[in-house]
Amino acid sequence: MEIHHLRYFIAVAEELSFRGAAERLHISQPPLSVQIAQLERELGTRLLERSAGKTTRLTAAGAVFLDEARALLDGLDRSIERTRRTGRGEVGTISVGLTSSMAYGVVPLLLRDFRRAHPGVTLQLLEMTTAQQEKALLARTLDLAFCYPPLENPGFKTRNVGEEGMVLAIPDSHPLAGTRPVRVGELQGETILTFPRHLSPGLFDRMLAAFSMAGLTLRIAEEATQLQTIIALVCAGLGVAVVPASMAKLAREGVEYRSILDPMPVVETLLVWRDDAPSPLAQKLIQSVSKTA
């Protein structure tokens, strides 16, 4: 059985006439009779009562199969449309990774714009470290990733979607509290908290270098897998911290943010994807982000 059998049968069942149906189908009557006969033979039952001269009628099985055939063709149309929409990237799900520290930066804005432009698309956001995201991209668990450089794997395409400076986070009870920008030298003797290196080796090393030049050392808060934890430690008076500027949006009681006068590393945010055949959805998000950023 093929789909044209369904179409042919529906035409005959609706016209209740082989000649009329043949005309509607733009074919001649004999092959139509043959095709219907094939269909009846395969189904093992007569679908139409025909007697020359008198009106053709549906059998009980024919009435059932007419309903079924219509439903099947409708289902086929819907299936085709759904597939086409998916192919055009109008619907579907896309997995996007981001680090927990990006929750307050430019990434939410970029994603919000994409969501508005593509309401049919489900964004699946997964908080992961840069290293985890790289592995997930390779395993195809992620379609896209928002990472911090440097990337370990060279086989990725990237786009810079924003960069931000570092600011100082201090308790509001601290002598340096106030609106004044701060120099690194003023931190002499302070406990300067920072995150474990594996969370962002590139940023970590550049921070380390910047402070070493000023003769300062950093204290690594091993348990701080999220920058918010660092802020919490600052709030508790365990020290000060240097964090990306967007963290200032996390207005936390008892913590103030001060800009730093000395040269500090700049945190770049990269959108990363595999260089082989990104899905249409991924392409759309890349395009959306490129336009916005």
Partner DNA sequence: TCCATTGATACGAAAATCATATCAATCAAG
Partner DNA sequence: CTTGATTGATATGATTTTCGTATCAATGGA
- Residue 142's closest CA among 130, 154, 160, 159? 130
Nearer to a copy of itself, 145 or 218 (CB): 145
| Residue among 3 and 60 whose Cβ is closer to DNA | 3
- Give the angle subtended at the CA of 123 by the CAs of 200 and 99, to the nearest 5°: 10
- Please state the closest distance from residue 117 (CB atom) to a copy of itself, in A: 18
Least separation in angstroms between CB 44 and DNA: 16
Q: Which does 229 bind (CB under 5 to 8 A by kind): a copy of itself, DNA, none?
A: none
Report in angstroms the alpha-carbon separations of 245 from 97, 146, 248, 268: 21, 17, 6, 12
**Distance in angstroms (rounded) separating the CA atoms of residues 163 and 150:** 14
Binding-site partner at residue 82 among a copy of itself, DNA, none, CB < 5 to 8 Å by type: a copy of itself
Cβ of residue 103: shortest distance to a copy of itself, in angstroms? 27
Q: Of 265, 249, 247, 256, nearest to 101 (Cα)?
A: 247
**Is residue 276 a contact point for DNA (CB under 7 A)?**
no
The binding site for a copy of itself (CB under 8 A) comprises 1-4, 43-47, 49, 51, 59-61, 64-65, 68-69, 71-72, 75-76, 78-80, 82-84, 86-88, 92, 276-277, 279-281
Q: DSSP code of 150?
A: P
Tokens of 237: 């008076």
Q: Which does 245 bind (CB under 5 to 8 A by kind): a copy of itself, DNA, none?
A: none
Q: Which two tokens stand for residue 214?
A: 């000023």
What's the closest the beta carbon of residue 97 comes to a copy of itself, in angstroms? 18
72, interface contact from DNA, a copy of itself, none, CB < 5-8 Å by kind:
a copy of itself
Outline where 27-59 has alpha helix (H): 29-43
SS3 of residue 186 by DSSP: helix
Residues of this chain, 22-51, that bind DNA according to CB under 7 A: 26-31, 33-38, 50-51
Identify what 266 binds: DNA, a copy of itself, none; CB under 5 to 8 Å per kind: none
Is 244:101 a contact under the CB 8 Å cutoff? yes
Q: Are 10 and 66 in contact (CB under 8 A)?
A: yes
Binding site for DNA (CB under 7 A): 2, 4, 17-20, 26-31, 33-38, 50-54, 56
